[in-house]
Structure 1
Amino acid sequence: PGASSPAAQHNIDPHYTFDNFVEGKSNQLGKAAAMQVAQNPGRAYNPLLLYGGTGLGKTHLMQAAGNLMLKHNPSMKLLYVHSERFTEMMITALRNKNMDDFKHRFRSVDALLIDDIQFFAGKDATQEEFFHTFNTLYESRQQIVLTCDRYPKEVDNLELRLKSRLGWGLSVAIEPPDFETRAAILLEKAQARGIPLPGDVALLLARRIRSNVRELEGALNTVAAQANLSGRGITMELVQETLRDLFNVHARAITIQNIQKTVADYYQLRLSDLLSQRRVRSLARPRQIAMALAKELTEHSLPEIGEAFGGKDHTTVMHACKKIRSLCDTDMRLRQDWDKLIRILTG
């Protein structure tokens, strides 16, 4: 739409709501923050920044917040735009010499929602314009909601002053869903689309596809289409046949060896030290994290994981998993490391 199009003030997809968002440990905080923002725009958390890998529900939460704001206040001027669209519109405005219209359009809204701000990186003029738009909206307490595919401080070629402003509100990580949430998402999507999905099939899909919600949905659609075209019911056998290649890719993508190497690189350790019997804290903690990641992200049993870590007993692996789970609740630094490693391994 052109710069003067009023319809774009409400260009939120009505299908995205909090009611049809499946909540789990991985996105609980993000959902709570988005709801707070929707109920108190400009006053709760400003800006709200949701960050995490592709296909984890950031856009869903952002647009659900927009829909709830509109429900509470239908006359609210609300604008949703992808970061690349923001740049395109700015270039068009510069070419047509109507930057004033562009500025007015973005700075006169009650809430501005911008997706994937990592694409602002390296675009100096776009960052400059967004910086001033941000300041105007922030000062007049208009709500800003943003998404990014990683923690903004990790985005190269994003201006320091912009990174600093993004930290003024609340930044929340949206993580890949855990097993139970993946299963719940599949059952919810299947029910919404009238797909008869047996529980054991949902559990199989949830166990084998760990990366993101979009891939889960894609797998569900593929299986439903295959069942429909072949006139067969959705069974374990049909799923194994239909998704054989996808399952193989996922099984190859995350191995214990891959996890060990990733953790060693992350903590700048030698792999041989990580797998050694030495118990100094600087090695013991990363080793426990690697074991817990192997339990979380692979199909291997506790004895198999122990074997891969120099013949450790399965109770050692169990202790490591418990320890890391409890530390994730109390140690913010370790929690950030865990989240980052999950993103690296599942990205």
Structure 2
Amino acid sequence: MDVWGHILSSMSEKIDPSTLKLLRGVEKAEYRNGKLYISTPDPVYKDWLESNLLDEIKSSASSLFGQNLKVFVLSKEEDHLEEISCEVNHIVEEKPYRLTNLNPKFVFSNFIVGNCNKIAYSACLAVAENLGKIYNPLFIYGGIGLGKTHLLHATAHYVLSKNPDANIIYTTADTFMSELVYYMQQGSILEFRRRYRDVDLLLIDDVQFLEGKERTQIELYHIFNALHLIGKQVILSSDTPPRNLKGLQDRLKSRFVSGLVVEVKAPDLQTKLSIINKKTKDMNIKLPNDVALLIAKTINTNVRELEGSLSKLKAYSEIMGRPVTFDMAREVLKDILEIKEVEELSIEKIQKEVANYFSININELLGNSRKKKVAMARQIAMYLARYLTDKSLNEISKAFKKKDHSTVINAVEKVEKNMEKDRKFKLTVEFLKEKIMSL
């Protein structure tokens, strides 16, 4: 009997397709003597499943095996299921406050680092390595969709990878406030405080939503002080720096800035291209260079819009049975991107910019001069045409008035070799590439 397959089938109408897809990562499930053992690939996956879906799994499994079913979630390292079932049960009972709710995809290895987020990334990694010892609290701020939540989740995942028994709570300011109201209504405020003070790492997202919530701010202030006093780590995020948080108590603002405050900025063009390349690999999309450049140049807000654009292109390409092209992208994304004045990057534009940079005319660039400066400019222009456009080798060779494409291949190889051994040459090529991409 395919135990896990039957459980997933029972759950399919209760959860969204993306979560259902993630649940297929469970390696096996075994039913023995009124107990269901679920084997997961690693502690991070185990933690995510326990925190988010244990009740739904138990409900669905109970319909198959009976209402008195006990469910144990195990990581891959826990091989001997029956031998450690009592130990696992003990861990669950002793640590009911591990409320991570983490996204398994938000890890450091999936985070694209650029000048816009390098400091925040480095700070989170340092904190994860030295929990409670540096940058405490760590306050990250920046616009919507720039990766703040990704960094918070990644920090928690890293800590759990080093110490699977770490007590971690990831929550949002809204959820924190809702929990407080619930516990107050139940007359269990002491239980609420114990829940949040008995942690190694507390991560609170979107603290701007605490503005004007006096009672919640008071509770957070005392929890923060208690954790800080015993050296426990706190990480917070907001869409604005602490000083701009209106309706927030001064004493709480003071706590927020007592550690390290870092900003996550909108990604620059090169970072956006790196993100697009990573997303296209993850989503299995074949995206021409000119389309990637189009999206990177026209989305100036956040990473989520980048991903949304790629998803829309992929869906259209699959439905229509056509490969993604520049013209298709312009048409499909016209409601998302401001692309009225964005034109396809041509080889002629590249030639013109390179010729201007080296103070030579186009005829020299397209000629057969062997002068060092002219030859170098020609090779760089061919390299950039190959890198920045989706033109074939034959098309590039014709644009440079060459007989065959072997000249282009040789030029690209020479530029790549020179970039490896000559830093000044590499900086020149990268400068030209950035300048041309921004046109």
Q: Structure 1-normalised TM-score? A: 0.70
Q: SS of the counterpart of 2:335?
A: helix
Q: Check whether the contact 2:97–2:169 (CA below 8 A) recurs between aligned residues.
A: no
Unaligned 5+ residue runs, structure 1?
252-347
Structure 1 counterpart of 2:236: 146
Provide the rounded CA distance (Å) in 2 between the counterparts of 1:68 and 1:194.
27
Report the equivalent of 1:79.
169
- Counterparts of 2:282 and 2:337 in 1: how far apart (Å)? 25
Find the counterpart in structure 1 of residue 105 from structure 2: 15
Q: Shift of residue 24 of structure 1?
A: 0.5
1:67 maps to 157
The offset of 1:250, in angstroms, is 9.6
Looking at structure 2, the residues matched to 176 and 28 of structure 1 have their Cα atoms a distance apart, in angstroms, of: 12
Q: CA deviation at 1:9?
A: 3.4
2:129 partner amino acid: Q
Q: 1:226 aligns with which of 316, 323, 348?
A: 316
Separation of aligned partners in 2, 1:24 and 1:122? 35
TM superposition outliers: structure 1 runs of 4+ over 6 Å: none
> Which one-letter code corresponds to 2:141 in the other structure?
Y
Does structure 1 conserve the Cα–Cα contact (< 8 Å) formed by 2:210 and 2:248? yes
Name the structure 1 match of 2:263. 173
Instruction: Supply the distance in 2 between the matched residues of 1:204 and 1:249 (Cα, whole angstroms).
Output: 8
Structure 1 residues 110-189: aligned runs within 5 Å: 110-189=200-279
Check whether the contact 1:208–1:250 (CA below 8 A) recurs between aligned residues: no
Cα distance in 1, alignment partners of residues 282 and 116 from structure 2: 22
Calculate the TM-score normalised by the size of structure 2: 0.55
Using the TM superposition, give the Cα deviation of residue 113 of structure 1 relative to its aligned residue in structure 2, in angstroms. 0.4
The answer as to whether partners of 2:97 and 2:167 remain within 8 angstroms in 1 is no
Cα distance in 2 between the residues matched to 1:202 and 1:31: 25
Q: State the match for 1:93 in structure 2.
A: 183
Match of 1:209 among 278, 289, 299: 299
Equivalent position SS for 2:106: coil
CA distance in 2 between partners of 1:237 and 1:8 (Å): 50
Aligned residues: 251
Range that drifts further, 228-237 or 24-33? 228-237
Instruction: Give 1:249 shift.
Output: 8.4
Paired residue for 1:191? 281
Q: Is the 8 A contact 2:200 2:232 kept in 1?
A: yes
Question: Letter of the aligned partner of 2:310 in structure 1?
Answer: L
Instruction: Give the unaligned 5+ runs of structure 2.
Output: 1-50, 56-92, 342-439
Compute the RMSD of aligned alpha carbons. Answer: 1.9
Kindly name which structure, 1 or 2, has the bigger radius of gyration based on alpha carbons.
Answer: 2
Instruction: Tell me the alpha carbon deviations over residues 169-191 of structure 1, each in whole angstroms, 9 at most, x when there is no partner.
Output: 10100000000100110110110
Q: Deviation per CA, 1:1-30, whole angstroms, max 9, x where unpaired? A: 89x982743432221111110010000000
Distance 1:250 1:175, change over 3 A: farther
Which position in structure 1 is the counterpart of 2:326? 236
Asked if 2 retains the 8 angstrom alpha-carbon contact of 1:198 and 1:234, the reply is yes
Paired residue type of 1:133:
I
